[in-house]
Amino acid sequence: MAVLQEVGQDIMQWSERLAQHSEPGWVEKGQLTVTYLTPAHLAVAAELKALMQEAGFDEVSVDAVGNVVGVYHGDTTDAASLLTGSHYDTVRNGGKYDGRLGILIPIAVVKSLSSQKRRLPYGIEVVGFSEEEGQRFRATFLAAGALTGSFDPEWLSQRDVDGISMAEAMKTAGLPGTLAAIQTIKRDPQKYLGFVEVHIEQGPVLCGKELPLGVVTSINAGVRATCKTIGLAGHAGTTPMSMRQDAMLAAAEISLMAEQRARLDEGSVATVGQIQVPGGSINVIPGECVFTLDMRAPTDPQRDALVSNIVKEAHAIANRRQVQFEYTEVMRASAAPSDPGWQLRWERAVAKIGQPVFKLNSGAGHDAMKMHTIMPQAMLFVRGGNRGISHNPLEIITAQDATLATQAFEALLDEIN
């Protein structure tokens, strides 16, 4: 199937079109922040809907959690479908391609099929997942969670920093905001051939090897937690250093310990991405510190050992410093090895378009690791420029690589029989 070379340019333009929408406080600085169900998020959903309609999908809709779903029918109505897509929310001050590329490439593929009036023996369902990053609410993968039947009912009453509950945010966005409605969008795996996801690599490997594409072998396991240390606030001038119960210093020591522990393993990582002294003052010893922990490893047992060592040592640090340590796990995702059959299809597809077949694992989390719980999945990575930097506005791809990824996706379709 021939893809016009301009397809990569289209994908770059569509990415810019989506990136016009960002949240107040960020948009003024030219920064991209799109978190769950904010006006910018709803604007991106509307753009995706329009892009799918323009591309010639047979059905385009927005579901109960804000996923934008496009269906391109197969040549028979009862044919099973290939499920694909990625997320359209972003981290704060993120890049333009993380997630979105995996929605835009299959849109380009369907556009090409539709323009040729070509029907395949199976349908294609493209999902723009509304939430993957866990930013506004501590409900990471809530969109894929709804599709896989693992949407946590307690999420609906969770509140954002402005005190708005998720159910309220949904209703304001015109969604039902009820568990009953969310439960109806759970997918029946029998109706699908499998799930494939295209994603920017978000790491330095493909860029370093000068390879445009990589076939993913497995996605690393992860755990996220919110943590709190509670000490005793006191006068910064009068309290001797030996008498302090400084909550922030305990958190700082825990952060450094987590770094050291992760460095002991091949492939483990631990990050404190947020740390605050709520209501702190320049002349007050911190009485409380809140921070996050994100811990990942290539396998579940390695991740579990990492997490249990870090939590045990955090308690020991807190005890020594006479502060309390509270730990609340907010996300746990298992490692997701690619389905061998789907991985092989990606490998053949990459080879068919004349590119070297290179395999790598994913340090980042993806919607695919959630879809993995109900159906076979495999991912294709696209090279990021700037040494693969991501979760950063420096994230970049080339139009040429977007074209190659689209061609690989089309070649994948030919591998399905």
127-156: which residues touch ligand GLV (CB under 6 A)? 133
Q: How many CB atoms lie within 10 A of CB 71?
A: 18
Phi and psi for 313 in degrees, rounded to 5?
-70, -35
- Token code pair at residue 175: 């969604």
Nearest to 281 by CA among 238, 239, 234: 234
Closest approach, Cβ 87 to Mn ion, in A, equals 6
3-state secondary structure of 320: helix
Stretch that binds Mn ion, among 26-34, 97-105, 235-243, 316-324 (CB under 5 A): 97-105
Distance between CA atoms of 365 and 79, rounded to whole angstroms? 30
Position 376 contacts ligand GLV (CB under 6 A): no
Phi and psi for 158 in degrees, rounded to 5?
-65, 145
Among Mn ion, ligand GLV, none, residue 131 binds (CB under 5-8 Å by kind): none
User: Is the Cβ of residue 98 or residue 401 nearer to Mn ion in the bound state?
Assistant: 98
Stretch that binds Mn ion, among 59-67, 96-104, 169-177, 404-412 (CB under 5 A): 96-104
Closest approach, Cβ 8 to ligand GLV, in A, equals 23
Stretch that binds Mn ion, among 92-100, 272-280, 286-294, 370-378 (CB under 5 A): 92-100
Closest approach, Cβ 356 to ligand GLV, in A, equals 26
Nearest to 106 by CA among 11, 2, 201: 11
Closest approach, Cβ 340 to Mn ion, in A, equals 24
Position 98 contacts Mn ion (CB under 5 A): yes
Size of the site for ligand GLV (CB under 6 A): 3
330-369: which residues touch ligand GLV (CB under 6 A)? 364-365
User: Is the Cβ of residue 85 or residue 99 nearer to Mn ion in the bound state?
Assistant: 99
Among Mn ion, ligand GLV, none, residue 160 binds (CB under 5-8 Å by kind): none
Dihedral sign (CA 82, 83, 85, 91): negative
Dihedral sign (CA 411, 80, 215, 199): positive
Give 47-113 as a DSSP string: HHHHHHHHHT-SEEEE-TT--EEEEE--SSTT--EEEEEEE----TT--SSTTTHHHHHHHHHHHHH
Among ligand GLV, Mn ion, none, residue 365 binds (CB under 5-8 Å by kind): ligand GLV
Q: What residues line the site for Mn ion (CB under 5 A)?
A: 98-99
Name the site residues for ligand GLV (rule: CB under 6 A): 133, 364-365
